Chains A and B, each alone.
Chain A
Amino acid sequence: MSTVEWSSEFDEVLKRNLPLHTGPVNPAARLADLGLDSLGTVSLVMELEDGMGISIPDELLVAETFETANTLWIAVKSLVATATA
């Protein structure tokens, strides 16, 4: 498994919205393979926004952002940094 460290808040929200995950989420795993469907994507977005104090802009609401846990974390990390700067 890749070694990417993300925040515990991100990890909790992510796992809540991946019905097929077992154990730690592999950063390189495709989120769709872990059960993320269209309903789950919206739930994930709303929970990330509420839980991490960020607003995900429309240009990031594309399939590429939700490809893997790592692609999503890269987007979220950048938004958190901007929000707390």
Chain B
Amino acid sequence: MTGGAGDGPSAYLSSISSVLGDETPLADVDEEIVRSELPNLYEQGLKYCRVSTQPAITLAAESARQTLAAVPDGAVDAIVYCTDTSPDKTTTSDGWDLLLALDRPTVPMTVLGGSGCGNLGPGLAVARNMVRVGDADTVLLVTGDRVKTGTRYLENGQTVLSDGAASCVVSSRRYGPAFRIDGLSSSFRVDIGTVAARPIIVARATAGTIKNAVRQVTEPLSLAASEFRYLLPGYYGRGPQAFLAMSAGFPTDRVYCPLLAEVGHCFSADVLLSLASLRETRAADDGDRLMLLAMSPRSWSIVVATQVGGSTAPP
């Protein structure tokens, strides 16, 4: 699945917000596997994870309310909710609860899953396409996840899962400083087995699929990796980050994972957290190109974005 420039109006991502669980030192996580992996996790650059007892939908609503406060009333005419967390009731009920919590009971809503911690990629694709074909002018995109059962430790990513939510709007308008979405490519490969059983095969397939996804989205835009300021992957450990950078054709010093130590891996919220950090810390300039990598162990989305300033929305 790909989408390049020139097929419709530009789509801009702006008004990023987030709500994270309580900052918890990894040493305080009550899991044997996390305790036994502590030295490795520290070496990988992690110090804390975020823990919440709130339902994912509550975290999502809290973040989304902050995003909605940054755009005019009535501007949002569609909502996309991305989650990999099993619903407390049903997926549909959770979606309806989100609309009620946001006081948007009549806004069309889509719940999106199937790409694990890479749900942001398909979520952006859906939101962007709504804007480009005219189905919506401004889409609220929300992620919300938490660890309900099982371990927080992720061996594949050498990281620890965190509870939290992030949100933004995707729109034909720029609500303040924004990121223009220039291209997007998503790939799946579910027949590769596990890292434990076939490490080299899985690593080669992952690297090859990322490389192809990068090519699919950069070639129509006539861009090379050297023209990007940063690669923004999820908050995986330093080893996996280096692997992802190599796969995408980036040197490791252009990987941007500013909140890895403090946040851990917050499912599909990571990339939005990094984009917000870019703005807050002024780590990038207007006009800088960014490559976003949203992924699960079996799916990969590459998004080309450009930081843009100014607002085109009415006050």
Contacts and interface: CB of A to CB of B under 8 A. Distances in A.
Interface of B is mostly: helix
Interface residues of A, number: 13
A2 interface: no
Contacts of B208: 46
Interface of B: 198-201, 203-204, 207-208, 211, 239, 242-243, 246-247
A42 B201 contact: no
A41 interface: yes
30 contacts: A38-B199, A38-B200, A38-B243, A39-B239, A39-B242, A39-B243, A39-B246, A41-B200, A41-B203, A42-B200, A42-B203, A42-B204, A42-B207, A42-B243, A42-B246, A42-B247, A43-B246, A45-B200, A45-B204, A46-B204, A46-B207, A46-B208, A46-B211, A56-B204, A58-B198, A58-B201, A61-B198, A61-B201, A62-B200, A63-B200
B93 to A, nearest CB: 43
A43 B244 CA distance: 11
Contacts, number: 34
A66 interface: yes
Nearest to B199: A38
B191 to A, nearest CB: 10
Contact of A38 (B198, B203, B211): B203
Nearest to B195: A38
Interface of A: 38-39, 41-43, 45-46, 56, 58, 61-63, 66
Contacts of A56: 204
A56 B201 CA distance: 10
Contacts of B204: 42, 45-46, 56, 61
A38 B202 CA distance: 11
A66 B247 CA distance: 20
A66 B198 CA distance: 14
A63 B211 CA distance: 23
Nearest to B245: A39
Contacts of A61: 198, 200-201, 204
A63 B199 CA distance: 9
A43 B203 CA distance: 10
Nearest to B200: A61
Residue among A41, A61, A62, A63 facing the most chain B CB atoms (10 A cut-off): A61
A41 to B, nearest CB: 6
A41 B198 CA distance: 13
A58 B200 CA distance: 9
B276 to A, nearest CB: 29
B209 to A, nearest CB: 12
Shortest Cβ-Cβ A-B pairs, 7 listed: A61-B200, A42-B203, A61-B201, A42-B207, A58-B201, A39-B243, A45-B204
Contacts of A43: 246
A13 B200 CA distance: 18
A38 B247 CA distance: 13
A62 B243 CA distance: 18
